[in-house]
Amino acid sequence: MLQIILYNLDIALEAIRQNKMRSFLTSLGIIFGVASVIAMLAIGRGAQEEVLSQMKLLGTNNVIVEPVVKQIDESVADQTSIRQKKNKYSPGLTLEDMKSIHKQVPHITAVSPEIIYETSFIRDGRMRSGKIVGVNEYYLGINNFEIDQGKKFTPIHLENARRVCVIGSDVKTKFFAGQNPIGQRIKAGSVWLTVIGVLKEREMSTESIQNLGIRNYNLDIFVPATTALLRYKNRAMVTGQEIQQAAAAQNENDNEGGNSNKSQPTNYHQIDKMIVQVSDTQYSVPIADVISRMLQRRHNAVVDFEVIVPELLLQQERRTQEIFNIVLSSIASISLIVGGIGIMNIMLASVVERYREIGVRRAVGAHKRDIQLQFLTEALAISVTGGVIGIILGIAFSYVIEIMAGIVTIVSLSSILISFGVAMAIGVVFGYFPAQRAAEQDPVHALRHE
């Protein structure tokens, strides 16, 4: 059987060599079809990896609570409603909220705040603006940060509000180039901080920063939350001056007809973000609902917060990209079908041109199966050759797209195997009918054909 296959393969290759240009043009549909499928799947795989990296940035099983500064925007006719709302007091998002959630809500493994202040960093005559971020001992683990040098915060640092910090990799590069920053000091705002740790650099694309609304953590300096509140500013602590300013602003607002848009809302929230880590993603949505209800009770029914489940947003984005990839791959597969039709047309023409050859082979003892195998092998050889060339072009197209468009493309072995397998299947399917037609020819009439 192997000898028969090799013999028919030799005949098929000889026929292809005698009609090189026609065979090449016939395989163009297969070539571009395979190349398109590989390139489209590479783009889709790159997009999926981007989503996975975004999930890693936000945490696959995190729930995020962000504060919303109250703003009343109603018509003059609703003055009664406005005055009722003014009488409702919300303390804002606080550390006490965070502790209560951690203590009372089940299936929560860790909770951490983010308290962010814009300031400037100074050391050895160099200065740059940046952010001080107050966190607790769980923060680095929740956000999948890794320590490159030194150590992370401990409960002792928070209990004593110590003036210590963990710096991002870019801060180290800027202020401690060629030095070991551990144990050295840097001035953030008006406070000198001792560096106890350096974060490993986290690669973040511009798209991730924009789409997820996150910061470039490499530029931040992290301090214990208690240090941020005690040594910088605690927005939950209201001073007499702030009360007087708020009263003056309120009187001005009332005199102007209750138009609250005249004055800018004040951020009264003690913390800027609360990150809740749940034990399993299946609890994310129920816990988000429980947190929302719990905070409403604690804030006197004032909804001045927003509860976000990042995994749901990213899963929706991933699903949209998968559908988009399927559509693109389907469009690219049309080229393969067109290529298969081209193979069938050329093979049918080849059968007509080679009636005499078929008759001679049948006359010297070839069976119908041999004739059928001959033409099927030829069709398969054309599609396989086109598939190999298409794979090379597809890989090249993927790298060109990555360079020219600036998007991540990942060529996987599975996409190559799928494309090549489809090309072979098309060669068999579209080559079968011409092969069957050649095998059915009457040898007597074939020998008499000119």
Residue with tokens 């050859």: 357
**Could you report the per-residue pLDDT of 41-74, keeping only the tens digit for each?**
888 777 767 666 666 666 667 888 988 875 444 4
**Listed ranges 10-14, 43-47, 82-86, 167-171; the one with the highest mean pLDDT:** 167-171
Mean pLDDT for the stretch of residues 173-189: 92
**Could you report the per-residue pLDDT of 126-143, keeping only the tens digit for each?**
999 999 999 999 998 888
**Could you report the per-residue pLDDT of 267-307, keeping only the tens digit for each?**
788 999 999 988 887 888 889 899 999 999 998 888 888 88
Burial group, residue 281, by CB count within 10 angstroms (0-12, 13-18, 19+): middle
Distance from C-alpha of 375 to C-alpha of 170, rounded to nearest angstrom: 65
Query: Per residue in 405-440, is it b (16+ CB within 10 Å) or e — as a string?
Result: eeebbbbeeebbebbbebbeebbeebbbebbebbbe
